[in-house]
Structure 1
């Protein structure tokens, strides 16, 4: 027994030594304070109270705030706005006036939601100018915890499109009180303030970073010990103020519960019944979208603007950029043409349908260039039902894609359509590979194509900084899709060792992809370790508040090192 105990102690000491070598000292000191960390090899507790905890993932070297099991975020089934509302909560603490202006900018959108909420609740139709809608709008502005929620839901609307399910619970004060979200926000703010005053951290409602590291979080938009939150505190309900002030004074202890949070231990059976009998009251996004107009500017001035997955349906690009654009596929679903947009374009899955002639008669002249492909079974299935035939598409070296390229070049004459080609712009080499979808079932053939294409395009030039652009990601190692996503496939990994050797040999600095519709709120880029070096990965889908990502923010340091 003594020998086993000594071995166990030795194992723990080895783990602590390894942690001390890789984890910042301020975190290792916290890790040692929590006994449960001795049996947790990966997710270590750093800080916690009754309802939330901060954990450190030792494999990914990342920090994350998560609610503990008993606290319910929302009684609304399938409510997907938590991260947006947490971001809005932090922004409210930092910039309450900006949150109010954001809501006022969206007044017409909010009034539409209130009108639809009243209809879902009562069955009565009212218009935006009715007393009921005006009263509900004022209720939002008079209740800070609801105001935070509304700001978060408007952020979600701008990034992902119109909302439609259970609007009454989301937008009407009378119904929102029953959801428990106000209590969740109150406890989240208490924890965030307590945490920021206990450790040198930056918290933006989604990510948590150490203050002394080089990170993409903005100081102005992140809560830290340096933040002035007094203007926001005076607006919040007194019970919330007292809880946050208590968090400031007793930062290392569990904070007082101020509003009534929704707990599974008390309301578990009731929540189960609600979910069991839930009626979503939702309509298709395309149907809901017609109620709303875009209140944001469609123009950005990024010098190198990255955007993907626009899926434009009205025959024109919904954004304007007069500099260099990188369009990473799935741009059009409506035969768009644009004579002014310039840059490079790679082929996505939706382009394969969008470039086809809009006439049914296959013997007509517009179909001439497509005639050779009618002999392929995959092409016939693709024409009949693309959504059910995407996995049959050929790898990117097929002649079919060259015809797609020519069609896109005619519609976008200022764009270089890269169908397994390269382009030099501002001393950066961009390689565009045609990967419309992730061919997991034919991963070996796909990765052989990637390897052969890169070998050909890179040639003897091992020094020029190079960025690889494709619609679907090359493989999981260079993808922004999180492992927690339903779309994540653990089999889509790099299994061709020569690809990794190639990345080691050449000056490849990053990869850009689209395809997975990752909201901008999740993150726009990350740094990954692959082939013994750090690379950036960018995925910048289009949304009303995200008309593109400025790649120069990642390239500036590279250019400085090269000069």
Structure 2
């Protein structure tokens, strides 16, 4: 199974569908919108379909659709519960492949037993062993309750992608405590809505994204990815509780808005005061994921067989790469926080922010000969800050044509002898040209200087060959238009847009087919690529952040389109 963006539960209940910026409103959506009078006073987010608890809306500005729960329905009584998208994805996968969800959970049994041991301690204060009767009983309870099984699968996806969980484990993993959270009711109503929606409009829904099926035969192509009208959910129906099964069967024959209540959902109108008290008195019981990591073993394969493998932001802390790929890799920065070296990995390497510290000498004695190559930069304020407080130095860094990056490049090349460090350089692999630009961070306040650097570097590296397929690679995205970071993210800055028209002209003139970046730690579950409109053409944008369930993205799937 494949699966942070760290949304911090910003009331974001959206699953986005990107349409071309110039796309006209599909007639089937226009017809649906006409059924809802409230759309006359809504200039942007138009209702397309709804029921008592959920709605599908269409954003007329960015031509996107989103599923959102209505204000009265509570997803979880657990404060700061960030697993909504993971659990929704697990719910869709349970409808499609319940047996795979069960196998996924069984694969993680040792991980679950650790969580259950800690959960029991949080509730009772008693320390039990992982092989105790209490833990085995709690584990079996998960397998006997499909709505809890869906939740656990989602939590494990989050664990694999973002690191160990630590807060309010009892409510997340123990059936006796989970029934108080309202999540089961939320899942039930969510399943009702998406089944009804998929049978009313030609859509593919995967728990995070919603895709409009416009091309003939596209339903069959996307059948395995998410829920469509052609999905066979009979196996899941036979396993779900009777009240949920009945609601889904009703949804299958429904053709318009309906009120389908199966399990008791948690509603703010009824429990608002109690929820406020819970949040006011909340004790997280949290430890940092880095501290908890050592107690969990990775149950996934570290081998990756992608032919052109894109991955970034590994932040390795044990001196080695955590995955194996013997084909062509594109490492888009922030790979190492522990002086990683690998003599066998091949491909291209982009300089990220963390490399700038990782390549510096271990000794603090700056009279040592190891510091000789760095001495020309000692007088720079940004370099002094980099040595003392790196987190404060990122936005002081010089633009990517500075001699400092040449020294960084040489250090990385020595550690990765079969990699090509693309410090404002290009490389052709399998008839595709990759241009690597050194953009360690997004310099929003110095956007003009940054974009002047991008322009000059591209003018030099693109050269005279306008026909060869070209991919632009950088650690931080070039600008918002070619970034996978959504506007709903706290890290998003609306000012980081392309304001240099000559860059757009270059994209028009040359056969630039896509852009790759890292930096923003966008999880695989949020999506790893999109198609974007820029300079009058359709380009792919890829961001593939490392996690245990994501050791890279296969770029060949986009290069061959």
* TM bin (shorter chain): over 0.9
Task: Judge conservation of contact 1:202–1:217 (CA < 8 Å) in 2.
Answer: no
Q: Is 2:227 aligned against 1:223?
A: yes
Match of 1:239 among 243, 268, 271: 243
The aligned counterpart of 2:163 is 161
Q: Secondary structure at the match of 1:153?
A: helix
Shift of 1:505: 1.3
Task: Judge conservation of contact 1:209–1:215 (CA < 8 Å) in 2.
Answer: no
The aligned counterpart of 2:27 is 25
Task: Judge conservation of contact 1:247–1:255 (CA < 8 Å) in 2.
Answer: no
Q: Secondary structure at the match of 2:211?
A: strand
The aligned counterpart of 1:186 is 188
Q: Secondary structure at the match of 2:494?
A: coil
Match of 2:177 among 175, 181, 184: 175
The aligned counterpart of 2:445 is 441
Task: Judge conservation of contact 1:436–1:472 (CA < 8 Å) in 2.
Answer: yes
Which runs of structure 2 are paired with 1:205-354 in the superposition (5 Å)?
205-213=207-215, 218-354=222-358
Q: Is 2:96 aligned against 1:94?
A: yes
Single out whichever of 445-454 and 52-61 deviates more from structure 2: 52-61
Match of 1:69 among 65, 68, 71: 71
Shift of 1:21: 8.3
Shift of 1:399: 0.5
Aligned-residue CA RMSD (Å): 1.5
The aligned counterpart of 2:200 is 198
Q: Is 2:555 aligned against 1:551?
A: yes
1:169 and 1:309 mapped to 2: Cα distance?
A: 31
Shift of 1:273: 1.0
Task: Judge conservation of contact 2:182–2:265 (CA < 8 Å) in 1.
Answer: yes
Shift of 1:61: 2.6
The aligned counterpart of 1:365 is 369
Task: Judge conservation of contact 1:204–1:217 (CA < 8 Å) in 2.
Answer: no
Q: Secondary structure at the match of 1:71?
A: coil
Match of 1:407 among 406, 411, 430: 411
Deviations 1:14-65 (A, max 9, x none): xxxxx99812222111111111111222222111000001112233332221
Shift of 1:365: 1.9
Match of 2:393 among 377, 389, 392: 389
The aligned counterpart of 1:560 is none
Shift of 1:122: 2.1
Shift of 1:253: 3.4
Single out whichever of 199-208 and 78-87 deviates more from structure 2: 199-208
Deviations 1:215-243 (A, max 9, x none): 99831131111111111111111111111
Task: Judge conservation of contact 2:76–2:183 (CA < 8 Å) in 1.
Answer: yes
The aligned counterpart of 1:481 is 485
Deviations 1:282-313 (A, max 9, x none): 10111111110100011111110000000011
- Measured at CA, do residues 215 and 448 of structure 1 come closer, stay the same or move farther in structure 2, by a change above 3 Å? farther
Single out whichever of 148-157 and 31-40 deviates more from structure 2: 31-40
The aligned counterpart of 1:561 is none
Task: Judge conservation of contact 1:327–1:345 (CA < 8 Å) in 2.
Answer: yes
Deviations 1:190-247 (A, max 9, x none): 1111111111111111111122346998311311111111111111111111111111
Mark the runs of 5 or more structure 2 residues left unpaired by the alignment: 1-20
Between 1 and 2, higher relative CO (CA 8 Å, sep ≥ 6) is seen in: 2
Single out whichever of 268-277 and 178-187 deviates more from structure 2: 268-277
Task: Judge conservation of contact 1:246–1:255 (CA < 8 Å) in 2.
Answer: no
Greater Cα radius of gyration, structure 1 or 2: 1
Task: Judge conservation of contact 1:303–1:323 (CA < 8 Å) in 2.
Answer: yes
Task: Judge conservation of contact 2:219–2:230 (CA < 8 Å) in 1.
Answer: no
2:385 and 2:231 mapped to 1: Cα distance?
A: 58
The aligned counterpart of 2:14 is none
Deviations 1:143-174 (A, max 9, x none): 10000000000001111111111111111111
1:20 and 1:100 mapped to 2: Cα distance?
A: 43
- Measured at CA, do residues 216 and 193 of structure 1 come closer, stay the same or move farther in structure 2, by a change above 3 Å? closer
1:549 and 1:102 mapped to 2: Cα distance?
A: 21
Task: Judge conservation of contact 2:319–2:341 (CA < 8 Å) in 1.
Answer: yes
Deviations 1:451-509 (A, max 9, x none): 11101111122111110000000111110000000011111111112111121111111
The aligned counterpart of 1:467 is 471
Q: Secondary structure at the match of 2:532?
A: strand
2:125 and 2:487 mapped to 1: Cα distance?
A: 41
Length-normalised TM-score, structure 2: 0.94
Deviations 1:105-137 (A, max 9, x none): 010111111111112222222221011111110
Mark the runs of 5 or more structure 1 residues left unpaired by the alignment: 1-18, 558-563
2:463 and 2:310 mapped to 1: Cα distance?
A: 26
Aligned residues: 539
- Measured at CA, do residues 411 and 71 of structure 1 come closer, stay the same or move farther in structure 2, by a change above 3 Å? same
1:291 and 1:21 mapped to 2: Cα distance?
A: 49
Q: Secondary structure at the match of 2:115?
A: helix
Single out whichever of 140-149 and 31-40 deviates more from structure 2: 31-40
Task: Judge conservation of contact 1:85–1:151 (CA < 8 Å) in 2.
Answer: yes
Task: Judge conservation of contact 1:184–1:261 (CA < 8 Å) in 2.
Answer: yes
1:288 and 1:22 mapped to 2: Cα distance?
A: 49
Single out whichever of 398-407 and 456-465 deviates more from structure 2: 456-465
- Measured at CA, do residues 279 and 125 of structure 1 come closer, stay the same or move farther in structure 2, by a change above 3 Å? same
